[in-house]
């Protein structure tokens, strides 16, 4: 057992910290939230040149040959910086599933372009109505028609679909939970994409497939049999979100402790009052718990070990822990923390969005209950 980063991971962390401190100040984050695209092409290209998109992909596709645990370190830094843009969508929701499920020619076709920053990918999974992240919740249908499948229906909360080149779309191809993943051309005119306005200012979209044809060759993995693959995509995405959140709440704690040391009332720093100290101690505990449970799940994913329970523990924990951390931070910051001038709101808003993404604590408690044999 070991809970420290490798030398290489320390390097990734430092490079990312330096780069993002320089390139992704909160003024930039704000600008991206207000922009139509939600990302900067220049920054995207620089990230590609740093090898970030390719980090966790094999060298033969142009990748850095590192693993998910290494990527976790990078995602943590991105969460810390509130980095806007389609990195998560492209790499975690798009690229890694292709690496897992794709045929060699599919990998050859998509991965190098993703890695060099040319193409943006995302995942169309959730749908209107109650979302339970199970096969039965997928109702968008794909029906065979000559050499194509025709996809019809509405997907919701699809991140970055408005700028994506390709969509991974989970669709129903057989009654009784026969699910297939398709690689669809996101620019096809039979896709209608509307940006939804979200709490975090990220770009989640409604994506309507209107009788959209997708060639059979674009099936990713097996026909009718990929719910388990989708589940793995969800698990990985949940852990990826946790990594971002670890970076988020760690930064929130640092801002809070700094503020508690500086802010004086009654002629002393408020951080010298035990109530504030205990709030901070509680935050630190929540964060360390989040960090270790997240990295445990990331390590297991990286090692290819079954980790449904560990993923559920991490996401359930961080969903609620991050809300507690943010709430205490606001309490300690006082009124300045609820103004738009202060940086805290960037973290508060993202923490809420991340809590909702890929299953909240209630959802994962039920997963844990099943894993306990209840």
Partner 1 sequence: MDFGFTEEQNKFRQEVRNFLEEEIKKGYWEPACDAWIQGFDPEFTKRVAQRGWIGLTWPKEYGGQGLSYIDRLILTEGMLRYGAPAACHWFADRQIGGSIVTYGTDEQKRELLPKIISGEAYIGLGMSETEAGCDLASLQTRATEDGDAYIINGQKTWTSGGSFVNYFYLLARTDPEAPKHRGISEFIIPADLPGINRIPMIDITGTEAWNDVFFDGVRAPKKCLIGEKNRGFLQALQQLDYERSGMERLMGNYPLFDAIVQFTKENKLSQEPVIRNKLAQLRIEFEVGRLLIYRVALVMDEGRAPNREAAMSKAYSTAFEQRLAKAAMEVLGPYGQLVSDSKLAPIRGLAVHSYLASKGYSLQAGTSEILKNILATRGLGLPSS
Binding site for partner 1 (CB under 8 A): 1-5, 69, 253, 257, 260-261, 268-269, 271-272, 274, 276-278, 280-282, 284-285, 288-289, 292-293, 295-296, 299-300, 303, 310, 312-313, 316-317, 362, 364-369, 372-374
CA angle, residues 75, 81, 85, in degrees to nearest 5 = 70
Closest to partner 1 by CB, 135 vs 253, is: 253
Per-residue burial over 13-23, b = 16 or more CB atoms within 10 Å of its CB, e = otherwise: beebeebbeee
Q: How far is the CB of 333 from partner 1 (least distance, A)?
A: 15
The secondary structure element, H or E, covering residue 11 is: helix 7-23
Tokens 């205490």 identify what position? Answer: 328
Pick the closer one to partner 1 by CB: 49 or 371.
371
Between 223 and 284, whose beta carbon lies closer to partner 1?
284
Nearer to partner 1 among residue 19 and residue 273 (C-beta):
273
Q: Which two tokens stand for residue 253?
A: 């704690």
Could you tell me which residues come within 8 angstroms of residue 283 by beta carbon, excluding any fewer than 6 positions away? 249, 252, 253, 256, 324, 325, 328, 329
Q: Find the shortest distance in angstroms from Cβ 222 to partner 1.
A: 31
- Per the CB < 8 A criterion, the answer to whether 220 and 230 are in contact is no
- Structure-block tokens of residue 92: 């975690």
Kindly state the smallest distance separating residue 271's Cβ from partner 1, in Å: 4
118/303 with CB nearer partner 1: 303
Report in angstroms how near the CB of residue 132 gets to partner 1 at its nearest. 14
Distance, in Å, from the CA atom of 95 to the CA atom of 215, rounded to the nearest integer, reads: 19
| Phi-psi sector, 349: left (phi>0), alpha (psi -120 to 50), beta | alpha
Phi, psi of 308 (to 5 degrees): -55, -45
Choice between 77 and 310, CB closer to partner 1: 310
- Residue 7 Cβ, how far from partner 1 at the closest point, in Å? 13
CA distances (Å), origin 46, targets 52, 102, 110, 115: 9, 27, 20, 12
Q: How near is the Cβ of 265 to partner 1 at its closest, in Å? A: 13
Strand partners, 154: 208
Q: Do β-strands 121-124 and 166-174 pair in parallel, antiparallel, or remain unpaired?
A: parallel
C-beta of 341: minimal distance to partner 1 in Å?
Answer: 25
Q: Could you give the CA distance from residue 246 to residue 347 in angstroms, rounded to a whole number?
A: 11
CB closer to partner 1, 165 vs 360: 360
């Amino acid at each position: 057992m070991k809970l420290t980063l490798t030398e290489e991971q320390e390097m990734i962390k430092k490079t990312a910290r330096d780069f993002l401190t320089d390139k992704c100040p909160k003024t930039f984050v704000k600008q991206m939230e207000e922009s139509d695209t939600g990302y900067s092409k220049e920054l995207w290209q620089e990230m590609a040149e740093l090898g970030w998109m390719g980090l966790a992909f094999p060298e033969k596709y142009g990748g850095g040959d590192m693993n998910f645990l290494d990527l976790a370190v990078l995602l943590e830094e991105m969460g810390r910086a509130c980095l806007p843009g389609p990195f998560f969508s492209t790499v975690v929701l798009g690229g890694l599933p292709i690496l897992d499920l794709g045929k060699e020619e599919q990998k050859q076709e998509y991965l190098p372009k993703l890695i060099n920053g040319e193409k943006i990918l995302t995942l169309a999974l959730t749908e209107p109505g109650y979302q339970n992240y199970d096969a039965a919740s997928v109702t968008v249908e794909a029906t065979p028609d000559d050499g194509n499948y025709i996809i019809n229906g509405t997907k919701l909360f699809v991140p970055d679909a408005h700028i994506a080149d390709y969509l991974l779309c989970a669709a129903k191809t057989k009654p009784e939970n026969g699910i297939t993943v398709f690689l669809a051309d996101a620019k096809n005119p039979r896709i209608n994409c509307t940006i939804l306005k979200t709490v975090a200012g990220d770009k989640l979209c409604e994506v309507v497939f209107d009788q959209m044809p997708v060639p059979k060759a674009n099936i990713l993995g097996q026909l009718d049999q990929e719910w388990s693959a989708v589940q793995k995509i969800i698990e990985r995405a949940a852990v990826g979100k946790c990594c971002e959140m670890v970076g988020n709440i760690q930064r929130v704690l640092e801002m809070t402790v700094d503020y508690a040391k500086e802010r004086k009332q009654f002629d002393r720093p408020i951080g010298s009052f035990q109530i504030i100290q205990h709030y901070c101690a509680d935050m630190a505990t929540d964060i360390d718990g989040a960090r270790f449970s997240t990295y445990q799940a990331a390590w297991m994913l990286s090692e290819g070990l079954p980790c449904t329970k560990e993923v559920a523990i991490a996401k359930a924990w961080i969903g609620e822990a991050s809300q507690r951390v943010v709430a205490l931070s606001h309490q300690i910051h006082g009124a300045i923390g609820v103004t738009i001038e202060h940086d805290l709101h960037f973290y508060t808003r993202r923490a809420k969005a991340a809590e909702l993404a890929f299953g909240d604590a209630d959802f994962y408690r039920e997963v844990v209950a099943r894993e306990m044999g209840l």
